[in-house]
A = this chain, B = another copy of it.
Amino acid sequence: MTYSVRELAREIGVDVLGNGDAEITHVADLDESQQGSLSFAASNQYLNKLKKTKATAVIVPEVLVAHCNATALVSENPYLSFARAAKLLHPEDEQIAGIHSSAVIHDDCEIADNVYIGPNVVISAKCTIGSDCHIGPGTIITAPSFIGASSRLIARVSIVGPVIMGERVIIHPGAVIASDGFGLANDNGVWEKIPQLGRVVLGDDVEVGANTTIDRGALKDTIIEQGAKLDNQIQIAHNVIIGAHTAIAGCTGIAGSTVIGKHCAIGAAAGIQGHIKIADGVQVSGMAAIRKSITEPGLYSSGTTAQDNKSWLRNAARFKDLDTLFKRVNDIMKRLERMDKGK
């Protein structure tokens, strides 16, 4: 796709400073740009690269205009404007509707118009696939489920319990949706499986990363509200609720029945205990362990920072006596008090 800078600026709703007639053919990083490139600089951090870039045009905030030798597209949110320009310049291939001959689809399914169903897809009885859906190769749906319009199951997605999905949902390969939750009752040391009977409900515009797992609810449903975004290798246990527009980075695990608020940002490889509640607008650092409910928005962290192993060994060994140290220091302070008074 080729756009003039002016056309592109109009499409994404930003102003042009410079040559509006120049042609843009693609997006690129500032330091890999060349003629025809559109790039972006979101903040002062990009200043060095901005000065040296060979891009034809750069999306910049007002404050960086003075440092931009290329044609500037001035945006209050350069990253967002860039996302939109990238979509225009690099549109996805138009979907060719059709059902591959190797797909195994039960007769008792409703498949709407303009749907693509790839090779080796398996869909069992009582499923509905909305219009314009893309059901990529190797995807398996073995329980009555509803896939909302324009959803894209990229490839090799497994849906093995009842799922209700909104529109424009994206699910990446290897994701497993609505497998049994980890529900066990103990009979004198022997674990007995508790039937998992709930569903998974995914709101509109939810995205689920590669190899992420979302268990079906035990009795109630597991719910991911609209606009929530899950990265790769996340584990969502049964009965969890993720609030709307919450983003969760890769490798994070959320234990059963926990409720995460709306507009949260959960860092990578965090661990969130079961049966707790996280307020709206909470941010969690990567690798943090959240063991209690959080009632106020803000950024929360845990853990220690890395150091050379020898020093760490010494410090980590001391951690085991930390409470003792606090008591010792308290004793010292009392002793000093007494000494002061004794004087």
Contacts and interface: CB of A to CB of B under 8 A. Distances in A.
Interface in A132-181: 136-138, 140, 142, 154-156, 158, 160, 170, 172-174, 176, 179-180
B179 A172 contact: yes
Contacts of A140: 136-138, 155-156, 173
A268 B237 CA distance: 10
A94 interface: no
Interface stretch (A15-23, A46-54, A61-69, A250-258): A250-258
B191 A247 contact: yes
B306 A288 contact: yes
A286 B289 contact: yes
Given A102-B102, A142-B136, A229-B182, A289 B313 contact: no
A271 B249 contact: no
A172 B180 contact: yes
A235 B251 contact: yes
A232 B179 contact: yes
A77 interface: yes
Contact of A299 (B137, B227, B309): B309
A135 to B, nearest CB: 13
Given A80-B186, A250-B235, A329 B323 contact: no
A211 interface: yes
Interface in A270-291: 271, 273-274, 284-291
A294 to B, nearest CB: 8
A134 to B, nearest CB: 11
A171 B173 CA distance: 15
Nearest to A31: B220
User: What is the count of identical protomers in the complex?
Assistant: 3
Contact of A309 (B193, B253, B294, B301): B301
Most chain B C-beta atoms within 10 Å of own C-beta, residue among A140, A207, A247, A328: A140
Contacts of A6: none
Nearest to A313: B301
Given A32-B220, A190-B227, A268-B255, A197 B319 contact: no
Interface string A285-325: 11111111010001111111111110111111111111101
Interface of A: 27-29, 32, 77, 79-80, 82-84, 86-87, 90, 100, 102, 104, 118-120, 122, 136-138, 140, 142, 154-156, 158, 160, 170, 172-174, 176, 179-180, 182-187, 189-195, 197, 207, 209-211, 213, 215, 219-220, 227, 229, 231-233, 235, 237, 245, 247, 249-251, 253, 255, 263, 268-269, 271, 273-274, 284-292, 294, 298-309, 311-323, 325-326, 328-329, 332-333, 335-336, 339
Given A83-B193, A190-B227, 4 more contacts: A79-B194, A80-B185, A191-B229, A301-B306
- Chain A to chain B: the 7 pairs with minimum beta-carbon distance, closest first: A158-B173, A299-B309, A314-B323, A80-B185, A176-B210, A301-B312, A302-B306
